[in-house]
Amino acid sequence: MALAMSLPTTILTVVWGAMQLEQKHILNQSEAYFLILGVICGMLILMVYYAYRRKN
């Protein structure tokens, strides 16, 4: 439950951080997108994993 509750805040923080890194030319735009997608996909996979584990 806590992971699902923190998902919107984490997404906003990662997007903001990726934008800052892109503005400082540390990451390019495609790397920032992959960072955002990676974090979101990782959190969703963890949510499914924990739900499946609690089910059994």
Between 23-32, 36-45, 46-55, the lowest mean confidence (pLDDT) is in 46-55
pTM: 0.76
Q: Is 46 exposed, middle or buried (0-12, 13-18, 19+ CB in 10 A)?
A: exposed
pLDDT greater at residue 56 or residue 53:
53
In angstroms, the CA 44 to CA 5 distance is 12
In angstroms, what CA-CA distances link 44 with 1, 7, 27, 28, 37?
A: 12, 9, 24, 25, 10
Determine the structural domain holding residue 30 and report its residue range: 2-55
Is residue 1 over pLDDT 70?
no
| Segment 12-30, tens digit of pLDDT | 999 999 999 999 999 999 9
Phi, psi of 51 (to 5 degrees): -65, -40
- Would you put residue 25 in left (φ > 0), alpha (ψ -120 to 50) or beta? left
Domain count, the chain: 1
Whole-number average pLDDT of the chain: 89
